Amino acid sequence: MAEMTNELHGRVAIVTGAGRNIGRAIALDLADAGAAVVVNARSNKTEADAVAAEIVARGDKAIGVIGDVADPKAVENLVAQAVSAFGRVDFLINNAALRAEKSLEEMTFAEWRSVLDVILDGTFHCVKACLPHLKKNGGTIINVGGMSAHTGSKNRAHVVTAKSGLVGLTRALAQDLAEHKVTVNLVVPGLIGTPADRGAAGEPDHHRRNQTLTGERGKPQDIASTVRFLCGPGGRYITGQTLHVNGGAYLG
């Protein structure tokens, strides 16, 4: 996308769950657009630092920050480090997720909560911590959803519920933050190939109900390109929306 080169220069992005796969692709693409990137991972410092180092090696700005988004204190530290390093926060990409599988009969409440804590509550914590900066800068929030939230999926009641909650939260935040010129959207990956041949929402092949109209899986970069667009000047009239990036998987 040469026509968009450096369109995010001077801006700062926090990307949660950015150590691998889709999160990593988003971090790299936003850096390519000129943004300084805070690469967050829950516990794998090696992965977060590797992504940050990859960005720095290309001549762009990035730091790796470890922190569990389910922990409000860890999120406060994440945002504080972003501001300390780069002076501002313009883009919040809520990508962190847990993708467990278990039947409802066998699922404990603790297992149920652990998934909602990261996907749904983690998004809440990140938004709250970033809000003063996003309001000041007229920023962008992008939540990363899951295809299973729209199709259902066996043995994943906690994940489906949490990802479905992001749909409502996105719409509510878009209403609440419109007066501050903050846009809020949900990007839903589907049938995305990863090194482990799992979907972007984490579902193995046997959970997939449909094939794509294009006849091929998408790539993490396809999601990253959509996120980059929404962060850029061309995406400022889009808010409160759910964007499905899935090759027409619902239509086959």
The pair of three-digit structure tokens given for residue 81, joined into one six-digit string: 């480090």
Average pLDDT of span 2-28? 92
Convert the pLDDT of each residue in 29-49 to its tens digit. Answer: 999 999 999 999 999 999 999
- Kindly list the domain boundaries of the chain, sorted by start residue: 2-245
Least confident of 204-208, 231-235, 244-248: 204-208
Q: Looking at the predicted structure, is the pLDDT value of residue 202 above 70? A: no
User: What band does 3 get if pLDDT is binned at 50, 70 and 90?
Assistant: low
Q: Which CATH superfamily is domain 2-245 in?
A: NAD(P)-binding Rossmann-like Domain (3.40.50.720)
Convert the pLDDT of each residue in 56-109 to its tens digit. Answer: 999 999 999 999 999 999 999 999 999 999 999 999 999 999 988 999 999 999
Q: Looking at the predicted structure, is the pLDDT value of residue 250 above 90? A: no
